[in-house]
Amino acid sequence: MPVPGTRLQTPSFSRRSAVSRRRFLQGSAAVVASLAATNCRQNLAGPPAGGGANDGTLRIYTWANYTDDGLAQAFTERTGIPVVIDIYDSNEVMLTRLQAGGGDAYSIIYPSDYMVSEMLELDLLTELDQSLLTGLENLRAQWSNPAYDPNNAHSIPFCWGTTGLLYNREASPGEPIDWNFLWDNQAKLSRRITMLDDMRETLGATLKSMGYSYNSNNPAEIEAAYNRLLELRPHIAAFKTTGFENELLSGDLSVSMAYSSDAIALTLEDDRMQYIIPASGASLWTDTLAIPATAPNVDAAYQWINFLLEPEVASAAVERLFFATANQAAFDLLPADIQNNADLYPSDEILAKSEGIVAVDTASTDLFDQFWTEVTSA
Protein backbone atom coordinates (compact mmCIF):
# COMPACT_ATOMS: atom_id res chain seq x y z
CA MET A 1 0.00 0.00 0.00
CA PRO A 2 2.63 2.61 0.81
CA VAL A 3 4.18 2.24 -2.64
CA PRO A 4 1.35 3.67 -4.78
CA GLY A 5 0.84 6.29 -2.14
CA THR A 6 4.34 7.65 -2.56
CA ARG A 7 4.08 7.38 -6.31
CA LEU A 8 0.94 9.39 -6.22
CA GLN A 9 2.34 11.92 -3.85
CA THR A 10 5.64 12.60 -5.47
CA PRO A 11 4.36 14.06 -8.73
CA SER A 12 1.69 16.10 -7.03
CA PHE A 13 4.31 17.51 -4.72
CA SER A 14 6.62 18.46 -7.57
CA ARG A 15 3.75 20.02 -9.43
CA ARG A 16 2.95 22.16 -6.42
CA SER A 17 6.49 23.26 -6.13
CA ALA A 18 6.57 24.16 -9.82
CA VAL A 19 3.52 26.33 -9.28
CA SER A 20 5.02 28.01 -6.30
CA ARG A 21 8.16 28.72 -8.24
CA ARG A 22 6.13 30.38 -10.95
CA ARG A 23 4.34 32.33 -8.25
CA PHE A 24 7.71 33.35 -6.97
CA LEU A 25 8.72 34.56 -10.41
CA GLN A 26 5.57 36.63 -10.75
CA GLY A 27 6.01 38.03 -7.30
CA SER A 28 9.64 38.87 -7.76
CA ALA A 29 8.92 40.40 -11.15
CA ALA A 30 6.40 42.75 -9.61
CA VAL A 31 8.70 43.61 -6.72
CA VAL A 32 11.73 44.27 -8.90
CA ALA A 33 9.63 46.34 -11.29
CA SER A 34 8.38 48.58 -8.53
CA LEU A 35 11.91 48.85 -7.16
CA ALA A 36 13.18 49.86 -10.58
CA ALA A 37 10.43 52.44 -10.84
CA THR A 38 11.32 54.03 -7.51
CA ASN A 39 15.02 53.73 -8.17
CA CYS A 40 15.10 56.34 -10.88
CA ARG A 41 13.47 58.86 -8.65
CA GLN A 42 16.08 58.25 -5.99
CA ASN A 43 18.93 58.75 -8.40
CA LEU A 44 17.73 62.02 -9.79
CA ALA A 45 16.09 63.71 -6.87
CA GLY A 46 19.00 65.44 -5.22
CA PRO A 47 18.51 66.62 -1.70
CA PRO A 48 16.97 64.53 1.03
CA ALA A 49 13.76 65.86 2.49
CA GLY A 50 15.39 67.77 5.28
CA GLY A 51 12.39 67.59 7.54
CA GLY A 52 13.25 71.01 8.88
CA ALA A 53 15.77 69.77 11.38
CA ASN A 54 16.59 72.88 13.34
CA ASP A 55 19.86 71.54 14.65
CA GLY A 56 21.89 74.71 14.25
CA THR A 57 23.12 73.69 10.80
CA LEU A 58 22.76 76.18 7.97
CA ARG A 59 21.15 74.39 5.05
CA ILE A 60 21.69 76.08 1.70
CA TYR A 61 19.93 75.20 -1.56
CA THR A 62 21.84 76.70 -4.47
CA TRP A 63 23.14 76.44 -8.02
CA ALA A 64 26.20 74.32 -8.73
CA ASN A 65 28.84 77.02 -9.17
CA TYR A 66 28.04 79.45 -6.38
CA THR A 67 29.61 77.84 -3.33
CA ASP A 68 32.56 75.64 -2.65
CA ASP A 69 34.13 74.00 0.37
CA GLY A 70 36.40 76.98 0.92
CA LEU A 71 33.47 79.36 1.27
CA ALA A 72 31.56 77.02 3.56
CA GLN A 73 34.63 76.39 5.74
CA ALA A 74 35.42 80.08 6.06
CA PHE A 75 31.86 80.69 7.22
CA THR A 76 31.97 77.84 9.72
CA GLU A 77 35.30 79.04 11.11
CA ARG A 78 33.90 82.54 11.51
CA THR A 79 30.54 81.68 13.07
CA GLY A 80 30.80 78.10 14.31
CA ILE A 81 27.74 77.21 12.24
CA PRO A 82 28.12 74.05 10.15
CA VAL A 83 26.95 74.37 6.55
CA VAL A 84 25.20 71.80 4.37
CA ILE A 85 24.87 72.59 0.67
CA ASP A 86 22.39 71.03 -1.74
CA ILE A 87 22.37 71.73 -5.46
CA TYR A 88 19.56 72.39 -7.93
CA ASP A 89 19.82 72.94 -11.66
CA SER A 90 16.68 74.92 -12.37
CA ASN A 91 14.51 77.42 -10.53
CA GLU A 92 11.52 75.20 -11.13
CA VAL A 93 13.10 72.23 -9.37
CA MET A 94 13.83 74.45 -6.38
CA LEU A 95 10.29 75.89 -6.35
CA THR A 96 8.64 72.49 -6.66
CA ARG A 97 10.70 71.10 -3.82
CA LEU A 98 9.81 73.99 -1.55
CA GLN A 99 6.12 73.74 -2.44
CA ALA A 100 5.97 69.98 -2.12
CA GLY A 101 6.77 70.04 1.58
CA GLY A 102 10.42 71.08 1.59
CA GLY A 103 9.64 74.62 2.78
CA ASP A 104 11.31 74.06 6.11
CA ALA A 105 14.34 72.18 4.79
CA TYR A 106 16.47 75.15 3.77
CA SER A 107 17.44 78.45 5.35
CA ILE A 108 18.93 80.03 2.23
CA ILE A 109 17.91 79.70 -1.41
CA TYR A 110 19.24 81.37 -4.57
CA PRO A 111 16.20 82.12 -6.77
CA SER A 112 16.68 83.99 -10.05
CA ASP A 113 14.95 87.30 -10.76
CA TYR A 114 11.71 86.07 -12.35
CA MET A 115 11.47 83.31 -9.77
CA VAL A 116 11.68 85.89 -6.98
CA SER A 117 8.56 87.58 -8.43
CA GLU A 118 6.79 84.24 -8.72
CA MET A 119 7.69 83.22 -5.20
CA LEU A 120 6.56 86.60 -3.91
CA GLU A 121 3.15 86.03 -5.47
CA LEU A 122 3.00 82.65 -3.75
CA ASP A 123 4.12 84.16 -0.39
CA LEU A 124 7.09 81.84 -0.18
CA LEU A 125 9.78 84.38 0.79
CA THR A 126 10.56 86.07 4.12
CA GLU A 127 10.48 89.85 4.10
CA LEU A 128 14.04 90.76 5.02
CA ASP A 129 14.67 92.78 8.17
CA GLN A 130 16.97 95.47 6.75
CA SER A 131 18.31 96.30 10.21
CA LEU A 132 19.89 92.84 10.41
CA LEU A 133 21.76 93.26 7.12
CA THR A 134 25.17 94.89 6.83
CA GLY A 135 27.00 95.88 3.67
CA LEU A 136 23.99 96.64 1.45
CA GLU A 137 25.73 99.86 0.42
CA ASN A 138 28.32 97.69 -1.35
CA LEU A 139 25.83 96.61 -4.03
CA ARG A 140 25.97 98.05 -7.53
CA ALA A 141 23.59 100.93 -7.99
CA GLN A 142 21.60 99.16 -10.72
CA TRP A 143 20.32 96.65 -8.17
CA SER A 144 19.14 99.15 -5.57
CA ASN A 145 15.54 98.80 -6.71
CA PRO A 146 15.14 95.87 -9.13
CA ALA A 147 11.84 95.36 -10.96
CA TYR A 148 11.51 91.76 -9.75
CA ASP A 149 11.64 92.75 -6.07
CA PRO A 150 11.17 96.48 -5.34
CA ASN A 151 13.76 97.81 -2.87
CA ASN A 152 15.22 94.32 -2.42
CA ALA A 153 12.63 93.78 0.26
CA HIS A 154 12.78 89.96 0.02
CA SER A 155 15.99 89.17 -1.85
CA ILE A 156 19.60 90.35 -2.04
CA PRO A 157 21.18 90.39 -5.52
CA PHE A 158 24.12 88.01 -5.40
CA CYS A 159 25.43 87.72 -8.92
CA TRP A 160 24.38 88.30 -12.47
CA GLY A 161 25.21 87.16 -15.94
CA THR A 162 24.08 86.56 -19.47
CA THR A 163 22.97 83.57 -21.50
CA GLY A 164 24.90 83.08 -24.73
CA LEU A 165 26.69 80.56 -26.89
CA LEU A 166 29.65 78.53 -25.72
CA TYR A 167 31.54 76.89 -28.56
CA ASN A 168 34.62 74.87 -29.39
CA ARG A 169 36.64 76.77 -32.00
CA GLU A 170 38.10 73.59 -33.47
CA ALA A 171 34.75 71.86 -33.82
CA SER A 172 32.65 74.77 -35.04
CA PRO A 173 32.05 75.66 -38.70
CA GLY A 174 32.78 79.32 -37.92
CA GLU A 175 32.65 81.93 -35.20
CA PRO A 176 29.10 82.52 -34.05
CA ILE A 177 28.15 86.18 -33.80
CA ASP A 178 24.44 85.95 -33.27
CA TRP A 179 21.73 83.42 -32.46
CA ASN A 180 21.13 83.02 -36.22
CA PHE A 181 24.39 81.09 -36.45
CA LEU A 182 22.54 77.99 -35.26
CA TRP A 183 19.87 78.21 -37.99
CA ASP A 184 22.27 79.27 -40.75
CA ASN A 185 24.61 76.32 -40.10
CA GLN A 186 22.06 73.75 -39.00
CA ALA A 187 23.17 71.10 -41.48
CA LYS A 188 26.83 71.35 -40.42
CA LEU A 189 25.85 71.52 -36.77
CA SER A 190 23.42 68.62 -36.91
CA ARG A 191 23.31 66.90 -33.49
CA ARG A 192 26.29 69.01 -32.44
CA ILE A 193 24.15 71.59 -30.62
CA THR A 194 22.71 71.61 -27.12
CA MET A 195 20.15 74.16 -25.99
CA LEU A 196 19.29 74.95 -22.37
CA ASP A 197 16.60 72.79 -20.81
CA ASP A 198 14.99 76.06 -19.78
CA MET A 199 11.71 77.09 -21.37
CA ARG A 200 11.95 80.86 -21.07
CA GLU A 201 15.64 81.00 -22.05
CA THR A 202 15.45 78.76 -25.11
CA LEU A 203 12.13 80.00 -26.49
CA GLY A 204 13.26 83.50 -25.50
CA ALA A 205 16.52 83.24 -27.44
CA THR A 206 14.50 82.08 -30.45
CA LEU A 207 12.20 85.08 -30.06
CA LYS A 208 15.25 87.33 -29.80
CA SER A 209 16.76 85.82 -32.94
CA MET A 210 13.65 86.99 -34.81
CA GLY A 211 13.87 90.49 -33.37
CA TYR A 212 11.16 89.97 -30.74
CA SER A 213 11.37 90.35 -26.98
CA TYR A 214 12.22 87.55 -24.54
CA ASN A 215 9.10 88.63 -22.70
CA SER A 216 6.70 88.65 -25.64
CA ASN A 217 3.02 88.55 -24.78
CA ASN A 218 2.05 88.34 -28.45
CA PRO A 219 0.62 84.88 -29.35
CA ALA A 220 1.63 85.24 -33.02
CA GLU A 221 5.25 85.97 -32.07
CA ILE A 222 5.38 83.10 -29.60
CA GLU A 223 3.97 80.71 -32.19
CA ALA A 224 6.45 81.94 -34.82
CA ALA A 225 9.28 81.26 -32.36
CA TYR A 226 7.88 77.79 -31.68
CA ASN A 227 7.88 77.01 -35.41
CA ARG A 228 11.42 78.32 -35.77
CA LEU A 229 12.64 76.22 -32.86
CA LEU A 230 10.83 73.22 -34.32
CA GLU A 231 12.83 73.72 -37.52
CA LEU A 232 16.08 73.53 -35.55
CA ARG A 233 14.95 70.70 -33.28
CA PRO A 234 16.11 67.69 -35.38
CA HIS A 235 19.61 69.17 -35.23
CA ILE A 236 19.60 69.66 -31.46
CA ALA A 237 21.41 66.81 -29.71
CA ALA A 238 19.88 67.46 -26.32
CA PHE A 239 18.20 70.04 -24.15
CA LYS A 240 20.45 70.26 -21.13
CA THR A 241 21.46 72.85 -18.59
CA THR A 242 24.57 71.04 -17.34
CA GLY A 243 26.65 68.13 -18.52
CA PHE A 244 27.59 69.34 -22.01
CA GLU A 245 31.14 70.34 -21.01
CA ASN A 246 32.94 67.06 -21.66
CA GLU A 247 31.40 66.58 -25.08
CA LEU A 248 32.23 70.17 -26.04
CA LEU A 249 35.85 69.67 -24.99
CA SER A 250 36.13 66.42 -26.95
CA GLY A 251 34.63 68.08 -30.02
CA ASP A 252 31.58 65.81 -30.11
CA LEU A 253 29.49 68.94 -29.66
CA SER A 254 30.20 72.24 -31.40
CA VAL A 255 27.98 74.79 -29.72
CA SER A 256 26.08 74.83 -26.45
CA MET A 257 23.72 77.47 -25.24
CA ALA A 258 25.00 78.21 -21.74
CA TYR A 259 24.75 80.54 -18.76
CA SER A 260 27.79 82.80 -18.63
CA SER A 261 28.71 81.61 -15.13
CA ASP A 262 29.12 78.03 -16.41
CA ALA A 263 30.66 79.02 -19.74
CA ILE A 264 33.39 81.33 -18.46
CA ALA A 265 34.85 78.72 -16.14
CA LEU A 266 35.30 76.50 -19.20
CA THR A 267 36.81 79.22 -21.42
CA LEU A 268 39.45 79.87 -18.76
CA GLU A 269 40.19 76.17 -18.56
CA ASP A 270 40.71 75.58 -22.28
CA ASP A 271 41.77 78.01 -25.01
CA ARG A 272 39.60 76.36 -27.64
CA MET A 273 36.46 77.24 -25.73
CA GLN A 274 34.88 80.59 -26.50
CA TYR A 275 31.80 82.31 -25.13
CA ILE A 276 29.86 84.96 -27.01
CA ILE A 277 26.94 87.13 -26.10
CA PRO A 278 24.85 87.19 -29.31
CA ALA A 279 24.85 90.51 -31.13
CA SER A 280 21.08 90.93 -31.16
CA GLY A 281 21.09 90.63 -27.38
CA ALA A 282 20.88 87.97 -24.72
CA SER A 283 19.02 87.47 -21.51
CA LEU A 284 20.37 89.18 -18.44
CA TRP A 285 19.76 87.32 -15.25
CA THR A 286 20.29 88.03 -11.58
CA ASP A 287 20.51 85.31 -8.98
CA THR A 288 19.63 86.40 -5.48
CA LEU A 289 19.90 85.30 -1.89
CA ALA A 290 16.56 84.78 -0.16
CA ILE A 291 15.13 83.16 2.93
CA PRO A 292 12.09 80.88 2.46
CA ALA A 293 9.01 81.97 4.45
CA THR A 294 9.11 78.78 6.51
CA ALA A 295 12.91 78.60 6.87
CA PRO A 296 14.51 77.20 10.04
CA ASN A 297 17.51 78.89 11.58
CA VAL A 298 16.80 82.36 10.20
CA ASP A 299 19.60 83.94 12.27
CA ALA A 300 22.19 81.81 10.50
CA ALA A 301 20.63 82.77 7.17
CA TYR A 302 21.15 86.46 7.91
CA GLN A 303 24.74 85.73 8.94
CA TRP A 304 25.32 83.96 5.60
CA ILE A 305 23.94 86.92 3.64
CA ASN A 306 26.07 89.40 5.60
CA PHE A 307 29.09 87.14 5.15
CA LEU A 308 28.64 87.19 1.36
CA LEU A 309 28.11 90.95 1.33
CA GLU A 310 31.62 91.47 2.74
CA PRO A 311 33.79 92.70 -0.16
CA GLU A 312 36.78 90.47 0.73
CA VAL A 313 34.70 87.31 0.97
CA ALA A 314 32.79 88.08 -2.22
CA SER A 315 35.86 88.91 -4.30
CA ALA A 316 37.74 85.81 -3.11
CA ALA A 317 34.76 83.69 -4.10
CA VAL A 318 34.58 85.35 -7.52
CA GLU A 319 38.25 84.61 -8.14
CA ARG A 320 37.62 80.93 -7.57
CA LEU A 321 34.13 80.50 -9.01
CA PHE A 322 33.93 83.08 -11.83
CA PHE A 323 30.50 84.57 -11.44
CA ALA A 324 29.84 88.27 -12.00
CA THR A 325 29.32 89.74 -8.59
CA ALA A 326 26.60 92.29 -7.93
CA ASN A 327 28.81 93.70 -5.19
CA GLN A 328 30.61 96.88 -6.35
CA ALA A 329 33.03 96.91 -3.42
CA ALA A 330 34.00 93.32 -4.20
CA PHE A 331 34.39 94.15 -7.90
CA ASP A 332 36.82 96.93 -7.00
CA LEU A 333 39.01 94.41 -5.17
CA LEU A 334 39.26 92.04 -8.16
CA PRO A 335 42.44 91.72 -10.24
CA ALA A 336 42.36 93.71 -13.48
CA ASP A 337 42.15 90.68 -15.77
CA ILE A 338 38.89 89.59 -14.18
CA GLN A 339 37.52 93.14 -14.11
CA ASN A 340 38.25 93.47 -17.83
CA ASN A 341 36.87 90.06 -18.80
CA ALA A 342 34.21 91.09 -21.33
CA ASP A 343 32.47 87.71 -21.07
CA LEU A 344 31.98 88.28 -17.37
CA TYR A 345 31.30 92.02 -17.50
CA PRO A 346 30.01 92.81 -21.02
CA SER A 347 30.00 96.27 -22.55
CA ASP A 348 27.16 98.68 -21.93
CA GLU A 349 26.29 98.47 -25.62
CA ILE A 350 25.49 94.75 -25.38
CA LEU A 351 23.82 95.20 -22.01
CA ALA A 352 21.50 97.79 -23.54
CA LYS A 353 20.25 95.29 -26.12
CA SER A 354 19.78 92.52 -23.59
CA GLU A 355 16.74 91.89 -21.46
CA GLY A 356 15.88 90.43 -18.10
CA ILE A 357 13.32 87.65 -18.21
CA VAL A 358 10.17 88.74 -16.37
CA ALA A 359 6.91 86.94 -15.74
CA VAL A 360 4.53 87.10 -18.73
CA ASP A 361 0.73 87.10 -18.50
CA THR A 362 -1.17 83.88 -17.84
CA ALA A 363 -2.30 83.33 -21.43
CA SER A 364 1.29 83.69 -22.65
CA THR A 365 2.56 81.40 -19.89
CA ASP A 366 0.10 78.75 -21.10
CA LEU A 367 1.35 79.21 -24.67
CA PHE A 368 4.99 78.98 -23.60
CA ASP A 369 4.18 75.83 -21.61
CA GLN A 370 2.30 74.20 -24.46
CA PHE A 371 4.86 74.98 -27.14
CA TRP A 372 7.79 74.01 -24.93
CA THR A 373 6.25 70.64 -24.09
CA GLU A 374 5.51 70.05 -27.76
CA VAL A 375 8.94 71.04 -29.01
CA THR A 376 10.70 68.83 -26.46
CA SER A 377 8.31 65.89 -27.09
CA ALA A 378 8.26 65.99 -30.89
Partner 1 sequence: MTPAPSPTPAVTWTDRLAPRRWLGPVTLLGPAGVWLLVLLVLPTLLILEISLVPGLRLGQPSGGYGLGNYLQILQPVYLRVIGRSVAFAVGSTALCLLLGFPVAYWLALMSPQRWRNLLLVAFILPLWTSSLLRAYAWTTILRPSGVLNAMLAAIGLPAQNWLNTPTAVFIGLTYSFLPYMVLILYASLEKLDTRLLEAAADLGATPRQSFWKITVPQTLPGIAAASLLVFISTLSDFVVPTLLGGASSMNISRLIYNQFLGPTRAWGFGSALSMVLILAVSLAIALLIRYGDRNTITEA
Binding interface with partner 1 (CB under 8 A):
15, 18-19, 21-23, 25-26, 28-30, 32-33, 36-37, 39-41, 43-44, 90, 92-93, 95-96, 99-100, 121-122, 191, 197-200, 233, 236-240, 247, 250-252, 368-369, 372-374, 376-378
In the complex, what is the shortest distance from the CB of residue 33 to partner 1, in angstroms, rounded to a whole number?
Answer: 4
Give whichever of 47 and 311 is closer to partner 1, judged by the CB atom. Answer: 47
Give whichever of 95 and 255 is closer to partner 1, judged by the CB atom. Answer: 95
Name the nearest CA neighbour of 358 among 45, 115, 74.
115
Give whichever of 40 and 336 is closer to partner 1, judged by the CB atom. Answer: 40
Give whichever of 287 and 343 is closer to partner 1, judged by the CB atom. Answer: 287
In the complex, what is the shortest distance from the CB of residue 37 to partner 1, in angstroms, rounded to a whole number?
Answer: 5
Give whichever of 39 and 217 is closer to partner 1, judged by the CB atom. Answer: 39
With beta carbons less than 8 A apart as the criterion, state whether 168 and 254 touch. Answer: yes
Q: What number of other Cβ atoms are within 10 A of residue 311's Cβ?
A: 18
In the complex, what is the shortest distance from the CB of residue 71 to partner 1, in angstroms, rounded to a whole number?
Answer: 27
Give whichever of 42 and 347 is closer to partner 1, judged by the CB atom. Answer: 42
159, burial (CB in 10 Å: exposed 0-12, middle 13-18, buried 19+):
buried
SS3 of residue 264 by DSSP: helix
In the complex, what is the shortest distance from the CB of residue 199 to partner 1, in angstroms, rounded to a whole number?
Answer: 4
In the complex, what is the shortest distance from the CB of residue 196 to partner 1, in angstroms, rounded to a whole number?
Answer: 10
With beta carbons less than 8 A apart as the criterion, state whether 284 and 160 touch. Answer: yes
Q: How far apart are CA 339 and CA 307, in angstroms?
A: 22
In the complex, what is the shortest distance from the CB of residue 75 to partner 1, in angstroms, rounded to a whole number?
Answer: 29
Angle, nearest 10°, between helix axes 69-79 and 298-309? Answer: 110
In the complex, what is the shortest distance from the CB of residue 198 to partner 1, in angstroms, rounded to a whole number?
Answer: 7
Q: How far apart are CA 90 and CA 374, in angstroms?
A: 20
Q: How far apart are CA 378 and CA 364, in angstroms?
A: 21
Residues 6+ apart with CB under 8 A from 131: none
Name the nearest CA neighbour of 356 among 153, 215, 218, 225.
215
Give whichever of 5 and 11 is closer to partner 1, judged by the CB atom. Answer: 11
